[in-house]
Structure 1
Amino acid sequence: MPLNDERPASTSSSEEQGSDVESSSERCDSMTSTSDLDCSRESFTSDCSSKQCTPSSSPPKTITLDEVMESGRDLSNLSIAHEIIVNRNFHLEPDSLPQDSLWKIVRDNVHKAFWDILESELNDDPPEYGQAIRLLEEIREILLSFLNPGANRMRTQIMEVLDMDLIRQQADNDAVDIQGLASYIITTMGKMCAPVRDEDIKKLRESPDNIVTLFREIFRVLDLMKADIVNFTIDNLRPVLQRQSVEYERAKFQSILDKTPSALDHTTSWIKSALEELLTSIPKEQTDGQVKGQRLVPGPFQVLNLAFLRILTWDYDKSQLPETWMTDETRLREIQRHLQRCQAVNEVLLIIYSTIGGPIQGLPSLSDRLKRMISVLLDGMHSPDFNLEEALESVSAQICCELNKSLTERNYPAMSPALQATLTGQICSITQKDNPIRTLVEDRVQQFFTALICDPKPQVKVEQVPTGLTAIKPELALMGAKFISLVNYNKTVYGPFYADIIRKLMFSSSLPAANPQQDTVQDSVTSN
């Protein structure tokens, strides 16, 4: 805690929000190294069955309510720790409920009743101090909670001034100096608060004489100070967590797995789906040409890379995200939404330039205007109530106006009604999944992210976007850097769990029978 007679620095941060974990492939264990991409069954099993690599799992058992609750607390702690690690701007905000929500209405009414009772008691003749004493007692506990364990002098002073037994005796004799106690509380808060709260403390000192209003404001500022203390602690805790992040998150998840053996069910299904997809993609001629008793299987890192790629296009409405990705769900959804819009923008631009051709080529200012216009009109396209067809019709109308303006300014003839109708029809057709332009863009985007996931140095590949995606190169580079950062960190933390799952899936009875004498995974299908 920062609080003694010293004041903490401001906890505000101006750093750009996002997933800021650096690529950590050099820290990866055997599951994430690139030198073993097509390891043998023997090496893969031995590497991943070591004490440091293979996570232990509990045998099936009946789970008690206490264990479920404890697992929930572990998951909450894991989520908070992960957020602190990957989001440098993560901080706690004072509680704020939505306007007109039931909870806010109930809370406001309860608070109003409390302050009305306090005002009524203090206005009695003689005054009643029951509510006021409870208020002062709560304030004392809050102030004490702000102190460092070694701040004995200030602790003693607070206990002496806010001595509840003495204040009760004064109340019995109608001798409580409420205004004086409020002044001491404000002064003490001024010594404890962060510099960012100096203006709030100044306003408290200048507050009107209405004691009830003053105490309401005191509690408001105390709530802000509580958030400041937590955020100061988070800032100090972040470097420690970052140094121990992999071990901490892995250990936390293992403790959840020990209490809840089914905690990897969705992760197993996710990896199994990738493995089955790779198995079905092996050419038939390669399968037929195998030596009897052997079978082709993908390399473990090929399986994992494909699984990571599928996370990028995850259908959240149909399937629950793998457990090992739950802490990054918000970031993944944001990347996916941004990527979907960028793909749509790129598809529309490709249609425009292929339809109009030469008269609008080599005009970067026009391209930028069209890109911004399309992006704005397609904002929110991920929402369930968003009508993409109507939005694309609006996009087409705006584009035709902009193009006609640009063409006439440069002495070109305006687009004919037939050409405008053709352009509009082609733009609106990207809603169809089998649209060739849409298919092309989606395939190229998949190629881009595949290259990032499979490359040991993805930073080099971030700026190398495939042909046809130049218009969204800045956005792709930003999303690629964020996504690969999440992937590398996830791979480092959960690599041992993935290794154990893949090992069991690859050599389980659910796959085609292998020669029991063979103890190797075939090298025919490579990771890259």
Structure 2
Amino acid sequence: MSERDNPGASGSQDPNKDDSRSSSKPIPTGPSYYANEPIQFRVRGSTITGASPPSFVTLDDIMKAAHGMQNMALAHEIAVDNDFKLEPFEPPDNSYQKLVKETMHRAYFDILREQLKADPPEYKQALVLLEDVKQGLFSILLPRHTRIREMIEEVLDTEFIKQQAENNSLDFHKYAAFVIDLMAKLAAPARDEMIQNITTLTDTVEVFRAILETLEVLKLDLANTLITMIRPHVQKESVHYEKMKFEEMLKVTEDGLQHTRAWLKRHIDRTGLTLPVTDPGIIRNVTAQTLAKAYLELLEWDEAHGYPESVTLDAPRFAELGTQVYRLICVAALMLVSPSCGDASAAAKHKLNLKEKIVIIIGDAATDTQLKLVLPSVAEEVILVTEQLLDSLGQDPLTADMKELIRTQIVSLRDPEHKVRQIVRQRVLEFLKMILVCAGGSRQIPVGLSALAPELTSISGTLLRYVMHNKAVFTSYYMDIVTEELSRS
């Protein structure tokens, strides 16, 4: 969200009228637009909740996470997840919560419409409406917008509006124009059309309904903009804060690195080393190789082991990433055993088309048991797509024997030890290991995986981001563990 223009003062009231706003009578009250809808947002694109119900945070939670690290989990989430965003809080369809929300909003505007149609008009709900609009405007301001805040207070002065209502001189169109103009100046260009559409409405109630709904959208834009702005600061502070908290935990725990030590020891390769090792350069290299293999183990974690204490905050992330790797391996293996036809160009297009179909059919499959259930459907889709390609190339259709061979080859991939699956798995993990050891850089996509380059690149980038943050916090502990192991003769 950006303040593209400085709102002019043309909407401000005449200062000479200030003395007419001194009424001390209580402000009329009525149903508020926000009464049953707290300002909260659902976390999107994040693994903070894992398989649990959606997690909700407020804008205040975000700011607290940025300043003082009161919520370490939320701060960590913002720091490591570039896709961390907020989306509007929407209760599930047919839920009691959604029914209440819709009922309250309908009643809110029905009361407003009835009161405005009365003769003479009644403005009790209108005053609540304008106060809600005022608070909505405040919610899309940054702390530096002090002058704009003062202008809103001046134009939407509650006592003065109340006096206008009592004198039957309340000008809704004037206030609507002020609010729309201010929203247009504060909103991002992407919201221009939404705001412009409000100006085409003629019904007063519908105008203010649209204003309140748009303010909710702008509030969300501000929250996500703030997350982007504070992420570099949070990343830096989160590392320091997590180090401090982990050190505090170690002081009150008998062995707070028990599982972390066992995790790393499984991956220390002593081949070719003369123990004990004291050379710092060798120790750093062994640590880098050890960590790369250890982090990859998290993608295929065996629950028989205790989860390393130093990666606990990221356990749901590595589990989700492991599921993505599993599906990528399965899709790649299925594509490799599927027939290829035509020249290089036709074959490439066929592979991409096939990939899209297979990804849809596999869906959320995350285990071999789930994969086994969908493989027959994958086989039929492969046959269908292949015959369509053959038809477009003017070639003979598949014979019954060829179709049966395709079915057999595809269904056989249910075995995790299948040679093709194992080859693909090895290539994927070697690629990811190289990314981790070299901390990124340009790497050639493994043979047979070119059609899945976007997915593999996305996974490797996400994995590297998680790993780099974790290493920034815990590398000193990792180095100590490896050094201790290599110091033993």
Same fold (TM over 0.5): yes
- Structure-2 change in CA distance of 1:155 and 1:418 (3 Å): closer
- The 5 A counterparts of 1:469-484 are 470-476=447-453, 479-480=456-457, 482-483=459-460
- Structure-2 change in CA distance of 1:202 and 1:306 (3 Å): closer
- The 5 A counterparts of 1:11-410 are 73-83=71-81, 86-87=82-83, 91-147=85-141, 154-209=148-203, 211-235=204-228, 237=229, 241-242=231-232, 247-254=236-243, 256-257=245-246, 268=257, 271-278=260-267, 299-314=286-301, 324=311, 326=313, 329=316, 335-352=321-338, 365-366=346-347, 368-370=349-351, 372-373=353-354, 375-379=356-360, 381=362, 383=364, 387-400=370-383
| 1:441 counterpart (418, 421, 424) | 424
In structure 2, what is the Cα distance between the partners aligned to 1:153 and 1:448? Answer: 54
Partner amino acid for 1:274?
A: W
C-alpha contact 2:92 2:98 (8 A) present in aligned 1: yes
- Structure-2 change in CA distance of 1:498 and 1:115 (3 Å): same
In structure 2, what is the Cα distance between the partners aligned to 1:180 and 1:106? Answer: 32
C-alpha contact 1:92 1:227 (8 A) present in aligned 2: yes
Moved more, 423-432 or 250-259: 250-259
SS of the residue corresponding to residue 179 of structure 2 reads helix
* Structure 1 residues without counterparts, runs of 5 or longer: 8-17, 20-69, 292-296, 508-513, 523-528
1:50 alignment partner in structure 2: none
| 1:459 counterpart (416, 435, 441) | 441
Q: Deviation per CA, 1:98-147, whole angstroms, max 9, x where unpaired?
A: 44344322211122222223333334444433332222223223334545
Tell me the C-alpha RMSD between the 2 structures: 4.8
SS of the residue corresponding to residue 449 of structure 2 reads helix
C-alpha contact 2:112 2:125 (8 A) present in aligned 1: yes
* Structure 2 residues without counterparts, runs of 5 or longer: 8-44, 47-67, 277-282
- Structure-2 change in CA distance of 1:131 and 1:218 (3 Å): same
- Structure-2 change in CA distance of 1:494 and 1:392 (3 Å): same
Partner amino acid for 2:237?
A: Y
In structure 2, what is the Cα distance between the partners aligned to 1:382 and 1:273? Answer: 35
1:503 alignment partner in structure 2: 480
- Structure-2 change in CA distance of 1:419 and 1:145 (3 Å): closer
In structure 2, what is the Cα distance between the partners aligned to 1:134 and 1:262? Answer: 55
In structure 2, what is the Cα distance between the partners aligned to 1:187 and 1:303? Answer: 59
- Structure-2 change in CA distance of 1:128 and 1:309 (3 Å): same
In structure 2, what is the Cα distance between the partners aligned to 1:172 and 1:260? Answer: 63
Moved more, 158-167 or 215-224: 158-167
SS of the residue corresponding to residue 229 of structure 1 reads helix
In structure 2, what is the Cα distance between the partners aligned to 1:121 and 1:428? Answer: 68
SS of the residue corresponding to residue 201 of structure 1 reads helix
C-alpha contact 1:374 1:395 (8 A) present in aligned 2: no
Partner amino acid for 1:435?
A: H
In structure 1, what is the Cα distance between the partners aligned to 2:388 and 2:310? Answer: 52
* 2:413 is the alignment partner of 1:430: yes
Q: Give the superposition deviation at 1:250.
A: 0.4
Q: Deviation per CA, 1:426-474, whole angstroms, max 9, x where unpaired?
A: 32111112323322332333333333333x36534x2062xxxx22135
In structure 2, what is the Cα distance between the partners aligned to 1:230 and 1:77? Answer: 14
In structure 1, what is the Cα distance between the partners aligned to 2:138 and 2:275? Answer: 75
Q: Give the superposition deviation at 1:371.
A: 5.8
Q: Deviation per CA, 1:274-331, whole angstroms, max 9, x where unpaired?
A: 334347x879xx99x999xxxxx9943343222111133347999879764746955x
TM-score (norm 2): 0.67
Partner amino acid for 2:297?
A: R
C-alpha contact 1:118 1:131 (8 A) present in aligned 2: yes
Moved more, 316-325 or 164-173: 316-325
C-alpha contact 2:329 2:424 (8 A) present in aligned 1: yes
- Structure-2 change in CA distance of 1:165 and 1:506 (3 Å): same
C-alpha contact 1:346 1:441 (8 A) present in aligned 2: yes
C-alpha contact 1:396 1:423 (8 A) present in aligned 2: yes
In structure 1, what is the Cα distance between the partners aligned to 2:3 and 2:461? Answer: 39
- Structure-2 change in CA distance of 1:193 and 1:399 (3 Å): closer
Q: Give the superposition deviation at 1:179.
A: 4.0
Partner amino acid for 2:362?
A: M
Number of equivalent positions: 423
In structure 2, what is the Cα distance between the partners aligned to 1:387 and 1:266? Answer: 39
In structure 2, what is the Cα distance between the partners aligned to 1:346 and 1:438? Answer: 8
In structure 2, what is the Cα distance between the partners aligned to 1:208 and 1:412? Answer: 63
Q: Deviation per CA, 1:17-40, whole angstroms, max 9, x where unpaired?
A: x99xxxxxxxxxxxxxxxxxxxxx
In structure 1, what is the Cα distance between the partners aligned to 2:471 and 2:191? Answer: 41
Q: Give the superposition deviation at 1:420.
A: 4.4
Partner amino acid for 1:79?
A: E
C-alpha contact 2:332 2:452 (8 A) present in aligned 1: no
C-alpha contact 2:260 2:309 (8 A) present in aligned 1: no
- Structure-2 change in CA distance of 1:265 and 1:322 (3 Å): farther
Q: Deviation per CA, 1:180-206, whole angstroms, max 9, x where unpaired?
A: 333333343344333333333333333
C-alpha contact 1:3 1:147 (8 A) present in aligned 2: no
- Structure-2 change in CA distance of 1:419 and 1:520 (3 Å): same
SS of the residue corresponding to residue 176 of structure 1 reads coil
TM-score (norm 1): 0.63
